[in-house]
Amino acid sequence: MDDRRLAPLLGAVAFALLVLASSPAAAEPCSVVRKCSATGLACLSGDQKCEAEASSRGLQVVCDNVLGPDQKQFVWCPPVTEARDSKIVWVLLSVALALAIGGGVVVWSVLKKKPAA
């Protein structure tokens, strides 16, 4: 396979890597919406009322954000309902795109060949 036929496949791989690197999961901080949708709570450290409400609802701390030198925000979510990262979706989408482009290159190269005379 010469370089001209390999270029689209390399382009597809580069695109897949770009999609993976720019996925929003890596850029977003810990938040109620990202971790457990509307069923969770975000409590500042030292907020006894919020922490008591979260405990009474059976929530668990899944992550925290540092807001300042002496202040943290804790995200409380129900057990086993923590939202999963969608990175696997991006991986599968990238693989499917690479296979589609690779298949198109193969079909194009087969159809492009001239019949032997």
Strands (E), the chain: 41-44, 60-68, 71-77
3-state secondary structure of 42: strand
Specify the pLDDT at position 74.
Answer: 87
pLDDT in tens, 5-37: 666 666 666 666 666 555 554 445 777 777 777
Interior angle at CA 112, CA 94 and CA 4, nearest 5? 55
Same domain membership, residue 37 and residue 77 = yes
> CA torsion sign, 71 to 77 to 82 to 86?
negative
Task: Categorize the per-residue pLDDT at 96 as very low, low, confident or very high, splitting at 50, 70 and 90.
Answer: very high
What percentage of residues in the chain have a pLDDT greater than 90?
Answer: 14
Is the domain of 36 the same as that of 62?
Answer: yes
> Domain containing 102: what range?
1-23+86-112
> How many domains, in total, are found in the chain?
2
| pLDDT tens, position by position, 34-49 | 777 777 888 888 889 9
37 and 61 part of one domain: yes
Q: Is residue 117 part of a domain?
A: no
Residue 36 belongs to a domain? yes
At 116 the pLDDT is 61
Residue 26: the pLDDT is 44
Assess if residue 70 is contained within a domain: yes
Write out the H or E segment, with its range, that includes residue 49: helix 48-56
